[in-house]
Structure 1
Amino acid sequence: MDTRAESMQRWERAEIERSSVEATLTPDAALRVSPDTLDRYAAPSLDTAFPLEYAYHLLGNVHGRRILDFGCGSGANSVLLANRGAHVWGVDISEDLLRLARRRMAVSGRPDGASFIAGSAHDLPFPDGTIDVVFGIAILHHLDLDLVWREVRRVLKPGGRAIFQEPVRNSKLIRFVRSLIPYRAPDISPFERPLTDAELQRFATGFSRWSVRPFALPHVQIGQVLPLVRDYYQMLYRWDRRLLDAMPRLAYFASIRVIELTK
């Protein structure tokens, strides 16, 4: 029988292999972050309909703060965080993606805007209580939540915050049907999976306070894959916000959560 350590080694090898594929699929031309994108995430409003904008709204004033870009990948968020004046540390298990992250910072005009470290999210290379904000976009669903919960709490300063955006699939029927479909894209690891609201609630245990906001009802998900509808995704997200505000019980069917936790 595998030990926990052996399971983690297999898990992380799979993530490194997935990340290598992701790196090969990222063209150099896509690395530069445009001024329009920098402006978009500089100060989003509270009532934004878009999950990533809401995550950046939650950041508030992070000028001079030490932020961990958790599972930074190719550094797309590292550039945006540096643009907000934060001291950014990016951690990822993939050296291939970290090379892209360094290039992205350079071509986006911020060659010294972040420091990148290769390391495991299950064993972060930081002392206790040294991080003001852990910021992670679509990362928890790749990981062992118990180990990550321990590490996030460990590295955060007292009163520090963690902000995550994650895919969620609550429906047992949909999860079962998806499990019957053998296809898996090459840049998806065998261990990643959408989370559930119950898992996020357990992850919040031990934090002094937490909040969550749902996004992306099924019409948004469908619109993102239909060519004739894809151009109208902004309108779909705005409908999404109105529906969720008017009928909060629909949140069960929403496929994205943005969660903020305070140590």
Structure 2
Amino acid sequence: MKGQEWYQEDDIAEAYDDKRFSQGGRVIDRREKRAVIDALEPLEGKRVLEVACGTGRFTVMLADRGADVVGMDISEAMLEQGRRKAHAAGVEDSLDFMQGDAGRLPFPDDHFDAVFAMRFFHLAPDPEAYIREMRRVSKEQIFFDTFKRYSFRSIYNWALPMGSRLYSDREVRELVVGADLELVDAAHDFVVPFGFYRAVPGWVARPFRSLDETVGRTPLGDNLASVSYWDVRVPE
């Protein structure tokens, strides 16, 4: 099953976190959360929208750090998982979950201080339209990640149940400029692609991650990386 139908299945939502972010997948979870926090800080009192929030991994974390957060997703099953997390963390007052379409965000212009989307653009059928919508409702900042076209990611990309769109750096920069945004920072990571980390236990993943980070700090690191994080701003 492909695309939105696959993503919205109840059993997919229930197993989503355990399948991707347990065992070696914790390496991925920690890195992604650090990327989001580093980009969006300071968080106290900031109005933040997460597009395609899934099970609320990031929304709950940001609400716990003082942000006023809205998490939007097309899957009601994913949102229900997020509501359970928010209740367990005691952050319901700072966090709203909404079902909606990222191509038609139900918010007025400049409604949020920051808008971000993780694990979204590799599934976006019309990335230009989506980033324009994110830009419309953000008055300051947009943060998102992409999977790199020329990397080890392409080796197993065909096996993913939803398919995956890969981007070159040039394509992302054109996407940003086309939405009348300014790129302020880009970081590249994970020479060893996500699929490997998810498939191995934590004690195997940790030394590979150390090697991965060592290679990433070399001059070849950015070229070999499979994931990119993009911090862009709305021009003043």
Which TM-score band (shorter chain)?
A: 0.7 to 0.9
Give 1:23 shift. Answer: 1.3
Give 1:145 shift. Answer: 0.7
Give 1:113 shift. Answer: 2.9
2:56–2:71 contact (8 Å) kept in structure 1:
yes
Aligned with 2:90: secondary structure? coil
- In structure 1, how many angstroms separate the alpha carbons of the residues matched to 2:210 and 2:142? 26
Aligned with 2:114: secondary structure? strand
Give 1:260 shift. Answer: 0.4
1:168–1:195 contact (8 Å) kept in structure 2:
yes
1:207–1:261 contact (8 Å) kept in structure 2:
yes
**Partner of residue 23, structure 2:** none
1:213 aligns with 2:187: yes
**Partner of residue 132, structure 2:** 150
**Partner of residue 230, structure 2:** 259
1:133–1:162 contact (8 Å) kept in structure 2:
yes
1:51–1:257 contact (8 Å) kept in structure 2:
no
Distance 1:207 1:17, change over 3 A: same
User: Quick one: which amino acid aligns to residue 141 of structure 2?
Assistant: R
**Partner of residue 173, structure 2:** 201
The 5 Å alignment of 1:44-83 reads 50-83=31-64
Give 1:96 shift. Answer: 1.4
Give 1:239 shift. Answer: 3.2
Aligned with 2:50: secondary structure? strand
Structure 1 regions of 5+ residues with no counterpart?
1-12, 31-36, 42-49
- In structure 2, how many angstroms separate the alpha carbons of the residues matched to 1:132 and 1:213? 22
**Partner of residue 200, structure 2:** 227
- In structure 2, how many angstroms separate the alpha carbons of the residues matched to 1:62 and 1:212? 20
- In structure 2, how many angstroms separate the alpha carbons of the residues matched to 1:19 and 1:53? 27
User: Which structure would you say has the larger Rg?
Assistant: 1
The Cα offsets for residues 1-45 of structure 1, whole Å up to 9 and x where unpaired, read as xxxxxxxxxxxx941442324214258x99xxxxxx9xx98xxxx
- In structure 2, how many angstroms separate the alpha carbons of the residues matched to 1:165 and 1:231? 27
- How many residues end up aligned between the 2 structures? 221
Aligned with 1:142: secondary structure? coil
Structure 2 regions of 5+ residues with no counterpart?
20-25
- In structure 2, how many angstroms separate the alpha carbons of the residues matched to 1:184 and 1:78? 25
- In structure 1, how many angstroms separate the alpha carbons of the residues matched to 2:127 and 2:197? 28
Give 1:184 shift. Answer: 4.2
The 5 Å alignment of 1:122-161 reads 122-143=103-124, 144-157=126-139, 160-161=140-141
The 5 Å alignment of 1:183-194 reads 183-185=159-161, 189-190=162-163, 192-194=164-166
- In structure 2, how many angstroms separate the alpha carbons of the residues matched to 1:163 and 1:18? 22
The 5 Å alignment of 1:158-169 reads 160-169=140-149
1:244 to 198, 203, 216: 216
Give 1:77 shift. Answer: 0.9
- In structure 1, how many angstroms separate the alpha carbons of the residues matched to 2:173 and 2:200? 35
**Partner of residue 83, structure 2:** 102
Aligned with 2:45: secondary structure? coil
**Partner of residue 25, structure 1:** 15
TM-score, L = length of structure 1? 0.73
**Partner of residue 46, structure 1:** none
TM-score, L = length of structure 2? 0.80
Distance 1:232 1:53, change over 3 A: farther
1:15 aligns with 2:1: no
Give 1:253 shift. Answer: 1.8
Distance 1:174 1:217, change over 3 A: closer
